[in-house]
Amino acid sequence: MLWSFHPIYILRVISVCSLLGLTGLPGGLHAADLGPLPKVTQSNQSEDYVLDPEHCSIAFSVPHLVISEVKGRFQKVSGDFTLNDMDLKAGKSSALKVKATIDTASITTDNPKRDAHLMSADFFDAKKYPAIVFESTSIDVKDGAMFLNGDLTIKDVKKSVSLALEYKGTVIANDKKRAAFKASTKFNRRDFNLKWSDAVESGPVAGYDVTVDLVIQGVRKVDLN
């Protein structure tokens, strides 16, 4: 029985095996079993991509009782981005434009009671504000690090945020071109009116700083037609 591996992972394993002079693949796989391998690509033209929700991850963590933290994630995201691969690698400000929408009600911390509270008017007020929206405005490169700047809208509050951005590159797999990123940011939840009553907020129950870690993958739009 063959194991199921992501094609990008297989490509990396094969590359490492070649460098080490090895011929075996994990799980008894053989090159003939894999079909066409992903092809790493570069482009100097702007291309439109659609987010692939199955390969996107939006995770967050918040300090809890000073010594611990609560972790959670949003399970539904949609959106698109325009990418110029070579311009992004060169750090040009207009190389990447992103708009993403998160389904507020898709939040989970694996605790139904807490999730219901997070969706209530105390926090996200999911019935009144069903979407969280991020729209990028520019890219900065500082000391070799890349940052994606943009506007984050939670509830009725829009604020500028900056995400540390790691560009993973593009590949063509199964006749579809894909691009991937990792990003992270931190913000004070009170800036977006995500808070309990003043009495509770004065205690150490939940911290103010929210850390967000994202894994984003998109499929080139023309390959979906």
pLDDT score for 107: 97
Dig out the tokens for 106 from the structure. 């898709």
Tell me the C-alpha distance between 214 and 46, whole Å. 23
Domain positions in the chain: 1-37, 38-224
pLDDT score for 82: 97
pLDDT score for 201: 45
Mapped onto helix, strand or coil, the DSSP state of residue 173 is strand
pLDDT score for 84: 94
pLDDT score for 205: 59
Tell me the C-alpha distance between 207 and 59, whole Å. 16
Q: Give the list of residues 6+ apart from residue 135 with CB closer than 8 angstroms, or none.
A: 98, 99, 100, 150, 151
DSSP string, 151-171: EEEETTEEEEEEEEEEEEEEE
Low-confidence ranges of the chain (pLDDT < 70): 1-41, 65-68, 196-206
For 15, the enclosing helix (H) or strand (E) is helix 7-20
For 179, the enclosing helix (H) or strand (E) is strand 176-188
Give residue for tokens 């390969």. 55
DSSP string, 114-142: HHHHHTSTTTT-TTT--EEEEEEEEEEEE
pLDDT score for 41: 67
Tell me the C-alpha distance between 14 and 138, whole Å. 36
Question: Under CATH, domain 38-224 is a member of which superfamily?
Answer: Lipid/polyisoprenoid-binding, YceI-like (2.40.128.110)
For 159-184, write each residue's pLDDT tens digit. 999 999 999 999 998 899 999 999 99
As beta bridge partners, residue 48 has 82
> Residue 38, class by beta-carbon neighbours within 10 Å (0-12 exposed, 13-18 middle, 19+ buried)?
buried
Mapped onto helix, strand or coil, the DSSP state of residue 127 is coil
